[in-house]
Amino acid sequence: MSYLQQINQEQLPKHIAVIMDGNGRWAKQQGKNRVFGHSQGVKAVRRTVEACVQAKIQYLTLYVFSTENWQRPPTEVQALMLLLGRTIKQEAKQLHKQNIRLNAIGNLDSLPSNARKHLQNAINLTQHNTGLTLTLALSYSSRWEITRAVRLIAQQVENGQLRAEHIDENTVTQALSTYNMPDPELLIRTSGECRISNYLLWQLAYTELFFLQKFWPDFQEEDLYKAVVDFQQRDRRFGKVK
């Protein structure tokens, strides 16, 4: 029996976050350059999106490019940005056809104009779709996001729109990039690394973590279904006694 058949539709995680790790190491194993690994990683993204549609997941957020990734060799960064823009342009119509809504979080102003243009076009095209919400974390880091949220809240206090004593967890949540979606209930990371890497730190407070040994280009639909089945078998107490 496949893992998809084992999924309980009554206990689905609404939101799955993914750290897509291992493209470069996978390429090295194949005797190829790192950019080849990233291009093959795009195929894994397609499989993952399709798997979420099949499993009826409502939100999928992918860690595509972190603020730290800008420190990689310029040739790799340039190739990644070209791949990003080209992929979004190619996939936009298919996303729309599948009723998928595209979203993006991060310091999007730092992206090259061409990639930013294709991203905005795809977001505009799919903005009224009602199926899976696919969010791309681009030029994103959680510390950047939280720092930005603190500035927004401080500005509200300075403008007299908010009193300091009224600041609570909801105030912070509403100032984050993810204010319009539920927190992830399941985080999947590939490549065998067991860390969060500055990703959705506030939002992952009670998220179940699933670490997979295989590199991202090898990630298959069954891997996502297996993670969901594993999630459904966990005892989630949120610090309470059941």
Give catalytic residue positions. Answer: 21, 69
Residue 161 φ then ψ, to 5°: -85, -15
CB 94 within 8 A of CB 134: no
Give how far the C-alpha of residue 188 lies from the chain's centroid of Cα atoms, to the nearest Å: 10
CB 210 within 8 A of CB 232: no
- Taking the C-alpha atoms of residue 56 and residue 50, their distance in angstroms, rounded to an integer, is 10
Q: Which of 211, 165, 236, 225 is nearest to 9 (CA)?
A: 225
- Taking the C-alpha atoms of residue 18 and residue 21, their distance in angstroms, rounded to an integer, is 9
Rounded to the nearest 5 percent, the helix, strand and coil shares of the chain are 50, 15, 35
- Taking the C-alpha atoms of residue 124 and residue 111, their distance in angstroms, rounded to an integer, is 17
Give how far the C-alpha of residue 81 lies from the chain's centroid of Cα atoms, to the nearest Å: 17
Q: How far is CA 58 from CA 21, 107, 110, 132, 203, in A?
A: 23, 24, 28, 5, 16
